[in-house]
């Protein structure tokens, strides 16, 4: 499976060294991968059997981290005092995902 190891990378990014939130993080990973596949115009489940480009992987790590840090509905994390932080995350994620997008017409 190409998405193996994402949990460890997300936990490293979030500086988490426990397993208490693994189920939650895995649900966020599933959602982020689904978003990436949809945004990139590739079939659902593509990244379960195909190599995930590094830029897409980074976008997913960022998006999962954002979901986790913002699970209470705020911008969350270190950027809670910045009202545009949430939009900045989405802009960056989408820019990264565009690099591996299938530009079908």
Q: Is residue 68 a part of any domain in this protein? A: yes
**Residue 21 belongs to domain spanning:** 6-98
Q: Is residue 10 a part of any domain in this protein? A: yes
State CA 2 to chain mean position distance. 14
> Left if phi > 0, otherwise alpha if psi is -120 to 50, otherwise beta: which for 73?
left
pLDDT in tens, 72-97: 765 555 555 666 777 788 889 889 99
> Left if phi > 0, otherwise alpha if psi is -120 to 50, otherwise beta: which for 8?
alpha
Rounded-to-integer distance, Cα 100 and Cα 69, Å: 26
Neighbours of 15 (CB within 10 A): 6
Q: Is residue 103 a part of any domain in this protein? A: no
pTM recorded for the entire structure: 0.84
Q: Is residue 1 a part of any domain in this protein? A: no
Looking at the chain, the whole-number percentage of residues with pLDDT higher than 90 is 65
Q: Is residue 13 a part of any domain in this protein? A: yes
How many domains does the chain contain in total? 1
Rounded-to-integer distance, Cα 63 and Cα 92, Å: 9
């Amino acid at each position: 499976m190409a998405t193996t190891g994402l949990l460890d990378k997300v936990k490293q990014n979030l500086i988490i060294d426990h397993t208490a939130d693994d189920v939650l993080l895995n649900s966020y990973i599933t959602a982020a991968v689904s978003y990436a596949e949809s945004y990139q115009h590739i079939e659902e489940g593509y990244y379960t059997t195909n190599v995930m480009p590094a830029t897409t992987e980074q976008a997913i790590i960022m998006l999962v981290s954002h979901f986790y840090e913002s699970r209470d509905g705020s911008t969350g994390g270190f950027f809670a005092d910045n009202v545009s932080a949430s939009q900045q995350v989405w802009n960056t994620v989408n820019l990264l995902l565009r690099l591996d997008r299938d530009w079908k017409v």
